[in-house]
Chain A
């Protein structure tokens, strides 16, 4: 709500900041979870996608062309761990606006993926 020149207007927070000359500060987090998973990376990504589709029904979950999975604005990238081929690194990256979901996904991933998921 902006009061300017004796009038009140309801504007979006981003517009209010622009009008007041304030510069938004973007905060982003990137964290990693390592899981024991001897399958090829492609299979792990498929299981991750199906697993999340099954439990996060109120969120948009997309399989991206580069092999990552996007849950609202949270990005998960899976890669084989450099030290040991039987483990996978899940790189999870999210903006502060999606802090609750990012933090929730970190907790979920630390519990591991189910061995098989029903399609």
Chain B
């Protein structure tokens, strides 16, 4: 029996800030092209218009709001993680 069968490694700790230009470029490289960037007093909001999805980027946080499309959410999560430092 594999005693580690139920073990899931903890999520990496993520630090730093998201460079919005790089993030948008990475989105486009991954086929997410319908992107509108809006500046806010505390950061940026990226609107994926055809997907009804918002990404709110601030200095120390990112919040992804999507409408139930798990494939898209996971894609956005992976692109975001590549833009941040982790250990």
Contacts and interface: CB of A to CB of B under 8 A. Distances in A.
Q: Is chain A's interface secondary structure helix, strand, loop, or mixed overall?
A: mixed
Interface stretch (A3-11, A48-56, A62-70, A95-103): A95-103
Contacts of A106: 68, 70
Interface of B: 8, 10-11, 13-18, 59-70, 73-74, 77, 80-81, 84-85, 87
B62 A31 contact: no
B68 A13 contact: no
A25 B84 contact: yes
A69 to B, nearest CB: 18
B77 A25 contact: no
A117 interface: no
Contacts of A26: 60-62
**When A and B form their complex, which 3 residue pairs have the shortest distance between CB atoms, in order from nearest?**
A26-B61, A22-B15, A28-B63
Of A22, A31, A34, A100, most B-chain CB atoms within 10 Å? A31
A24 B73 contact: no
